[in-house]
């Protein structure tokens, strides 16, 4: 059956262009300039998809979105705007918008969004989205392959907050993606560039892990990646604005966001990375190293050592499922030392650090108690490690032992494993 798309936009040129493009793709296209009778048109035609401009002189696009979703909750709506802000994107997504596109956008960007919204990501002729092809990647030699299902989320979800290092208001929108996509980051703006969440695109590891590709940057991704790792999410589009928000400094709100979206298993089979031999960065003698060795499950033993008042903390985490992660690791918040604040400010970092999103430690101990765990600091190091290791793009089976390491060491370990994979994922 020919699918109907309704375009609601007060700009005639936009309507004409979209009508031509979508008609060429085989859709039945209706359009309106946003009259007060628009809601009646939606009710009468029952379109399969609505493309809605937010800013129109004759009707409030946000109000129209809210009313359409109240009457037809399952109706996919792509919101477009020439004055896009993170606040607008967040509000539209919370009201049920399938996607948010900022004008001007390319035809390819629009079609990717359209096909994603109606549940068929490609046209009859070719795949539209950029994706990571891992079909040629095998597990480590000498280990049994234990397949698991790929996962995404059931619906788009959104959260906003402040960037830890930039200090600016930011947000993140998570969109479900089909099998074979991988985890990719993209800008909320109209950029066509997406960044696969793999080690090849790591831009920096100083105080956070950040990705970069062709001018598009995804900063401070480790807490979100940690939650994705723990929940086994393998296909996802992360639309964001420069930096992932720090929220409360932990991964707990990202876990809640994933549960709000609903974890969905997919038909695609995923072969976990089975570690076949030890890989190590650093040395035991130096007191700073991270090592991974063969094991039939994923586990981490981390030793943290700082001068007093922190001292030494040890924690051994065995990953069983998302619940164990949420109970033991996800609530642990990022931390910093009062003596380092001036240096970080001079580096342009930690501008978004607040007493409600960071454990601050002074000469006498924690300045903003209470802690969530007596050993919350070492648990947060494990949280970061899980996020960085997920730059392999797949779950891991191996035992990690680490002491005194950070993002740079974690990513170096990922690179060592990545090189051993033999066939590297290629971006199309």
3-class DSSP string for 357-378: CCEEEECCEECCCCCCCCCHHH
Question: Are 86 and 160 contacting, i.e. CB atoms less than 8 angstroms apart?
Answer: yes
Task: Please report the pLDDT score of residue 130 as a whole number.
Answer: 36
Q: Which residues of the chain have pLDDT under 70?
A: 1, 83-84, 121-146, 163, 165-167, 189-191, 342-353, 422-428
Q: Do the domains at 4-117 and 132-269 have one common CATH topology?
A: no
Query: How far is 127 from 237, CA to CA, in rounded Å?
Result: 16
Assigned CATH for 4-117: 3.40.50.2300
Asked if 218 and 240 count as a contact pair (C-beta separation under 8 A), the reply is yes
Please name the fold of domain 132-269: Ribosomal Protein S5; domain 2 (3.30.230)
Q: Which helix (H) or strand (E) holds 63?
A: helix 61-71
Three-state DSSP class for residue 402? strand
Homologous superfamily (CATH) of 273-420 is lpxc deacetylase, domain 2 (3.30.1700.10)
User: Among 175, 223, 229, 407, which one carries the catalytic annotation?
Assistant: 407
**How confident is the model at residue 138, as a pLDDT?**
33
The pLDDT of residue 165: 57
pLDDT given for residue 119 in this prediction? 80
Q: Check residue 423 and give its pLDDT.
A: 41
pLDDT confidence of residue 143: 40
d(CA 174, CA 236): 7
Where along the chain do its domains lie?
Answer: 4-117, 132-269, 273-420
Cβ-based burial of 183 (10 A; exposed 0-12, middle 13-18, buried ≥19): buried
* pLDDT tens-place string over residues 249-271: 999 999 999 999 999 999 999 99
Strand-pairing partners, residue 153, are 263
Output the pLDDT for position 126.
Answer: 38
Q: Identify the pLDDT of residue 426.
A: 41
407 assigned to active site? yes
């Amino acid at each position: 059956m020919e699918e109907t798309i309704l375009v609601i936009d007060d700009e005639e040129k936009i309507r004409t262009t979209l009508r031509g493009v979508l008609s060429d793709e085989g859709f039945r296209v209706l359009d309106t300039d946003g009259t007060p009778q628009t809601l009646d048109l939606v009710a009468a035609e029952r379109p399969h998809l609505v493309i809605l401009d937010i800013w129109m002189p004759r009707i409030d696009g946000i109000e129209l979105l809210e009313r359409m979703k109240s009457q037809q909750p399952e109706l996919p709506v792509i919101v477009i705007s020439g004055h896009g802000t993170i606040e607008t994107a967040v509000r539209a997504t919370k009201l049920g918008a399938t996607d948010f596109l900022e004008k001007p956008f390319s035809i390819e960007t629009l079609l990717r969004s359209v096909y994603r919204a109606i549940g068929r990501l490609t046209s009859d002729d070719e795949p539209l989205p950029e994706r990571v092809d891992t079909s040629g990647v095998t597990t480590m030699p000498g280990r049994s392959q234990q397949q698991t299902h790929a996962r995404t989320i059931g619906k788009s979800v959104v959260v906003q907050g402040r960037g830890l290092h930039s200090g600016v208001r930011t947000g993140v929108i998570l969109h479900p993606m089909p099998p074979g996509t991988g985890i990719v980051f993209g800008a909320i703006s109209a950029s066509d560039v997406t960044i696969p969440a793999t080690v090849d695109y790591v831009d920096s590891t100083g105080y956070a892990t950040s990705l970069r590709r062709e001018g598009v940057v995804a900063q401070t991704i480790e807490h979100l990646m940690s939650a994705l790792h723990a929940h086994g999410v393998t296909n996802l589009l992360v639309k964001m604005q420069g930096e992932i928000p720090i929220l409360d400094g932990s991964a707990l709100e990202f876990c809640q966001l994933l549960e709000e979206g609903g974890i969905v298993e997919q038909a695609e089979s995923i072969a976990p990375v089975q570690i076949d031999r030890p890989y190590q960065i650093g040395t035991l003698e130096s007191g700073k190293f991270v090592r991974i060795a063969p094991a039939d499950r994923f586990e981490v033993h981390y030793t943290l050592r700082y001068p007093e008042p922190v001292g030494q903390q040890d924690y051994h985490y065995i990953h069983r499922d998302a619940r164990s992660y949420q109970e033991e690791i996800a609530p642990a918040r990022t931390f910093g030392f009062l003596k380092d604040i001036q240096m970080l400010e001079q580096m342009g970092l930690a501008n978004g650090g607040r007493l409600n999103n960071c454990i601050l430690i002074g000469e006498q101990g924690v300045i903003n108690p209470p802690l969530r765990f007596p050993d919350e600091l070492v648990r947060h190091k494990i949280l970061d490690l899980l996020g960085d290791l997920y730059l392999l793009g797949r779950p891991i089976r191996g035992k990690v032992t680490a002491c005194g390491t950070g993002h740079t060491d974690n990513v170096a370990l990922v690179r060592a494993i990545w090189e051993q994979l033999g066939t590297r994922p290629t971006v199309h």
